[in-house]
Amino acid sequence: MTESSDTPFFAAPENLESLRLYSRTLRIFSATSDSEMVAKTLLKIIELMISNAARFDEYCTANIEWIGDSFMREVREFPNTPEEKKSEIITSNFTSAFRFLCELEFVQPAEPSHEVRKIGLFVDENFELFTGNDRTQITFARHSMPVQVAKKLLNDPAIAEFRKFSQTVKEASSLKADWDSELEERRLHVEAIQQGLKNVTSSYNFVGLVDGFRQLAISKRTERRIAFWSLILLAVVMTTPPVVQISYVFTHLDAIESKKGLLLYTLPTILAIEIILIYFFRVVLAQFRSVKAQILQLDLRIALCQFVQSYAEYSKKIRKDDPSALARFEAIVFSSLVSESEGIPSTFDGTEQLANLIKSVRGT
């Protein structure tokens, strides 16, 4: 039964032991036999098999399959062979061993050793020593066997799969090209979506900022309207007491002498009311001016935000050349609204002025 390629043949312990026993027997036999040259050369091949068992297992798979079992059987039976047949058996064993050696020389990638070459030279120079089937085996080993070994190797399933490798590589290359093309299309599509989202996000941020400014501007315009009508109302209220008093004086000129004391008595009160009204008028007027200035600033910011798009990316690029390029823009957009509160008189200042006026009236 032929050993499988995954199972060691020459390196198997029982076969190695048989080969060692065979080599010892050959060494004794070659010293006394007429077939000394063949026996010594066979001994060299057997010693090569013993010292390089793994290499023979690796590269001599064809002959292991073809003649491996019969060769080892002859090796084991040799010590029990009658003396008159040993020379014939040695010659037969030599042709079998030589087939293993020729396959090893043909299949292995390395160049044959000097010893292997000497064995081949011995066979070529002493070809007449071999007759009948032995000569046929030598001829087969030298000429036909490499073709058979090559044919067996080429028909091996692994080699058959290797033949399909070029087709597989071609299909894989085509498939890779299709994948690369599809991947590139998907990458471009994803980049387009990413850029679109970036633009939408940037636009949304600026729209949100502009909407915030617009809402604040609407609130400030309402505040300005209230301040405006408050000014109108205060102006009317301020002018009403003097107009009423003057109208009364002109319409009651005949009785004015008798009511002079009353008029003088009410005059400080009217003046005090006028001063208070003037104070509040100033406060409302300053507030009105402040709101107008804030609305102007908000309109300016809205215009700037509508003008500048993708501010973060734009500022990142432009700051490489000039770090202060957007300083004024940022100072305007992100600064607080100016209220111009320095011109508004405080409540304590108005109260103090009123108290001084009352003191001056009492002093008189």
Interval 24-77: pLDDT, tens? 998 888 777 666 789 999 999 999 999 999 999 999 999 999 999 999 999 999
What is the rounded distance in angstroms from the CA atom of residue 198 to the CA atom of residue 172? 37
What is the rounded distance in angstroms from the CA atom of residue 185 to the CA atom of residue 173? 18
Same-domain check for residues 276 and 344: yes
What single DSSP character describes residue 164?
T
Whether residue 302 is predicted with pLDDT greater than 70 in this model: the reply is yes
Task: Answer positive or negative: Cα dihedral of 187, 193, 194, 199.
Answer: positive
Same-domain check for residues 223 and 76: no
What is the rounded distance in angstroms from the CA atom of residue 179 to the CA atom of residue 185? 10
Closest Cα to residue 213, out of 304, 315, 328? 304
Size of the chain, expressed as the number of residues it contains = 364
Contact in structure between 10 and 56 (CB atoms under 8 Å)? yes
Instruction: State percent of the chain over pLDDT 90.
Output: 26
Has residue 182 been placed in a domain?
no
Same-domain check for residues 103 and 246: no
pLDDT for the residue numbered 259: 64
Q: What is the mean pLDDT of residues 193-205?
A: 64
Same-domain check for residues 268 and 145: no
Has residue 323 been placed in a domain?
yes
Whether residue 147 is predicted with pLDDT greater than 80 in this model: the reply is yes
Same-domain check for residues 135 and 198: no
Has residue 223 been placed in a domain?
yes
Same-domain check for residues 255 and 352: yes
Statement: the pTM of the whole predicted model exceeds 0.85: no
Whether residue 292 is predicted with pLDDT greater than 70 in this model: the reply is yes
Same-domain check for residues 307 and 270: yes
Has residue 4 been placed in a domain?
no
Distance set, CA 51 to CA 23, 24, 67, 95, 202 (Å): 12, 14, 20, 20, 79
Has residue 184 been placed in a domain?
no
Same-domain check for residues 149 and 240: no
Last residue of a domain, one of 128, 163, 198: 163
Q: Report which listed range, 115-119, 238-242, 331-335, is most confident.
A: 115-119
Same-domain check for residues 144 and 210: no
Number of domains making up the chain = 2
Has residue 177 been placed in a domain?
no
Closest Cα to residue 245, out of 263, 222, 221, 223? 263
For the residues of 223-287, what is the DSSP string, one character each? HHHHHHHHHHHHHHHHHHHHHHHHHHHHHTTTTTTTTHHHHHHHHHHHHHHHHHHHHHHHHHHHH
Q: Among 98-112, 190-204, 281-295, 327-341, which stretch is predicted with the lowest mean pLDDT?
A: 327-341
Contact in structure between 295 and 220 (CB atoms under 8 Å)? yes
Same-domain check for residues 127 and 227: no
Q: What is the mean pLDDT of residues 250-257?
A: 67
- Residue 275's domain spans which residues? 189-363
pLDDT for the residue numbered 361: 47
Same-domain check for residues 209 and 343: yes
Same-domain check for residues 204 and 143: no
Contact in structure between 71 and 96 (CB atoms under 8 Å)? yes
Query: In terms of C-beta density within 10 A (0-12 exposed, 13-18 middle, 19 or more buried), how is residue 228 classed?
Result: middle
Q: Decide which of 104 and 292 is more confident.
A: 104
Whether residue 304 is predicted with pLDDT greater than 80 in this model: the reply is no
CA max distance for the chain: 184
pLDDT for the residue numbered 340: 55
What is the rounded distance in angstroms from the CA atom of residue 141 to the CA atom of residue 144? 6
Q: Decide which of 330 and 216 is more confident.
A: 216
